[in-house]
Amino acid sequence: MSDSDRNYALALHGGAGAVAGRDYAAVEKHLAGLAGTCESWLADGRSALDVVERAVAELETSGLYVAGRGSAPNSAGYVELDASIMDGRSRKAGAVAALRDFISPVQVARGVMEKTPHVMLAGKGAVEFARSHQFAEVTSPNDYYVLPVGVTRDDLSDIAHGTVGAVALDTSGALAAATSTGGTFGKLEGRIGDTPLVGPGTWADDNVAISCTGTGEHIIRAGGAASIAFRFRSGISLPDAIREMLDEVKRLGGDAGVIAVTSSGDIAMPYNSEGMKRACVSTSTPLTVATFG
Ligand code: ASP
């Protein structure tokens, strides 16, 4: 079978923090355009790893989500960024946590994966690594970030927000996942959620690629993405495996959403929050974008 005969699949999310009654038309338009671009990359034979990295980098720089440019400041008044990426075939992974003032945390996370023997760098060490490898820096934080210091989630009536993620199956059969966030509103300085944690926030293996969004503390305590993958590997269907993890998040008092693609090209995008900004497309699924319903 040639590569071009094989399936590809892609799902994107812009966060499970969507609030009923708000207008997400601009976000949905952006997600639809990006999913279409990613589809053409996958159809051209680009690797799942490249596609999820590029997709998340675009989501980060758009300013439409609480990741990269759209991130909100922490309780100390500055932005700390978290991101992770994982390649299912090699099981290699990279992550950054509490990273300050780089344009694309997911690109730095991939740098950690490819240029160090480590999986995660945090804080000052992450900044020094990113600087030494010349990743693009935010030179004027006050001008770059969309949300000014002091803005809370309740003030955000006309600004879309949410962690971002991408999962993909490429035509060689490889899976990859990536997730990036500015974290939760009002978080303490140094707080790290599920997003940069390879396991809870992001996971990819030979069977499935998963990116989570929602209240990170609850996702971590519920096991998150890897716990879904392990259920799926043991023979539980993907919808049931995801539902069990989401039910556990709910039982613990949080809410969350998940995007997942399997090696067969199946896609799942369930959530138990009010809504989740999301898009998907595959060789057998037309491009779909939604926030609620
Ligand atoms: N999971 C992210 C965090 O806890 C937030 C989100 O997905 O909106 O940092």
Q: Is 257 in the pocket of ligand 1 (CB under 6 A)?
A: no
Share of the chain above pLDDT 70, in %: 93
Instruction: Give the atom of ligand 1 at the shortest distance from the alpha carbon of 66.
Output: 8
pLDDT band at 155 (very low <50, low <70, confident <90, very high): low
Q: Is 196 in the pocket of ligand 1 (CB under 6 A)?
A: no
Residue that the structure tokens 């590997």 belong to: 233
- Cα-flanking dihedrals φ and ψ of residue 247, to 5°? -60, -35
Instruction: Give the atom of ligand 1 at the shortest distance from the alpha carbon of 191.
Output: 9
Residue 36 alpha carbon to ligand 1 centre in Å? 25
CA distance between the termini of the chain = 38
Q: Using CA positions, which residue lies closest to atom 4 of ligand 1?
A: 216
Residue 159 reports pLDDT greater than 60? no
Q: What is the pLDDT of residues 257-290, one digit of tens each?
A: 999 999 999 999 999 999 999 999 999 999 999 9
d(CA 195, CA 68): 13
Supply the residues annotated as catalytic. Answer: 163
Q: 99: which residues sit within 8 A by CB, 6+ positions away?
A: 80, 81, 82, 83, 105, 108, 122, 123, 126, 127, 130
| Burial category of 288 from C-beta neighbours within 10 Å (exposed 0-12, middle 13-18, buried 19 and up) | middle
Strand ranges in the chain using DSSP code E only, listed in sequence order: 9-13, 81-87, 92-99, 120-122, 164-169, 175-181, 202-204, 208-214, 256-262, 267-268, 278-282, 288-290
Calculate ∠ Cα 149-155-156, nearest 5°: 95
Write the class of the CATH domain 3-290. Answer: alpha beta
Q: Is 73 in the pocket of ligand 1 (CB under 6 A)?
A: no
**What is the model's pLDDT at position 185?**
81
User: Tell me, what amino acid is at 77?
Assistant: G
Q: Is 71 in the pocket of ligand 1 (CB under 6 A)?
A: no
Residue 86 reports pLDDT greater than 80? yes
Mean pLDDT of the region 56-61: 98
Mean pLDDT of the region 70-79: 89
Q: What is the pLDDT of residues 179-197, one digit of tens each?
A: 999 998 878 999 999 999 9
Residue 181 alpha carbon to ligand 1 centre in Å? 6
Instruction: Give the atom of ligand 1 at the shortest distance from the alpha carbon of 216.
Output: 4
Residue 215 alpha carbon to ligand 1 centre in Å? 5
Q: What is the pLDDT of residues 62-73, one digit of tens each?
A: 999 999 999 988
Residue 67 alpha carbon to ligand 1 centre in Å? 10
